[in-house]
């Protein structure tokens, strides 16, 4: 996301010294705050971690909306009613795609978040040439219901008529 290779810290001395410096500092600060609240949100389902989870997601939404245009991505957020709950689904879509692109549906396991998987995906080039959808499954932070065997049945509810040989599902 910051165009720095993994395991290389963002160093203020390497920021551009022109009008973009403020943007780099803001992105760096948001990433650091996001990391703090992400760690504070684990493990999950008590009031303080849930509050940290919500703050983490809100900060990430700001960051995502700020960087998406520079990555040539459209960000869509959808609320899908599933089993009596509203589930947020993020879509990261290439802005300029004259052809059909592959789609990847990323679901989270227990105590996984959309933020952690989106940050990982945004650090790859794959997100620029395919459509990515992120959904938190039952039993995760945003859900009040525990994960059950029937959780896998949510896929047809999320994407009815999905062509299985043209869509990849990745569980994290």
List pLDDT tens digits, range 87-106.
888 999 998 767 788 888 88
Is beta strand 131-136 parallel, antiparallel or unpaired with respect to 85-94? Answer: antiparallel
User: Is 5 within the bounds of a domain?
Assistant: no
Number of domains in the chain: 1
- E-state strands within the chain: 73-82, 85-94, 103-108, 131-136, 167-171
Using DSSP, state whether 85 is helix, strand or coil. Answer: strand
CATH at residue 156? 3.40.50.1820
pTM for the model:
0.74
The string of pLDDT tens digits covering residues 118-155 is: 988 888 888 888 889 998 876 677 677 776 666 656 55
Residue 2 phi, psi (nearest 5): -100, 10
Range of the domain at 120: 14-171
Strands of the 167-171 sheet, one edge to the other: 73-82, 85-94, 131-136, 103-108, 167-171
């Amino acid at each position: 996301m910051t165009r720095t290779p993994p395991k290389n810290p963002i160093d203020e001395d390497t920021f551009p010294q022109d009008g973009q410096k403020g943007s780099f500092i803001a992105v760096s600060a948001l990433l650091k705050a996001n990391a703090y609240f992400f760690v504070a949100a684990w493990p999950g389902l008590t009031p303080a971690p849930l509050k940290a989870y919500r703050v983490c997601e809100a900060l990430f939404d700001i960051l995502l909306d700020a960087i998406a245009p520079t990555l040539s991505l459209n960000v869509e957020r959808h609320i899908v009613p599933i089993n009596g709950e509203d589930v947020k689904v993020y879509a990261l879509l290439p802005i300029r795609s004259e052809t059909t692109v592959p789609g990847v549906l990323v679901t989270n396991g227990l105590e996984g978040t959309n933020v952690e998987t989106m940050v990982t995906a945004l650090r790859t080039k794959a997100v620029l040439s395919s459509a990515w959808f992120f959904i938190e499954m039952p039993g995760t932070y945003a859900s009040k219901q525990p994960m059950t065997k029937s959780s896998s049945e949510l896929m047809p509810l999320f994407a009815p008529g999905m062509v299985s040989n043209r869509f990849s599902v990745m569980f994290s």
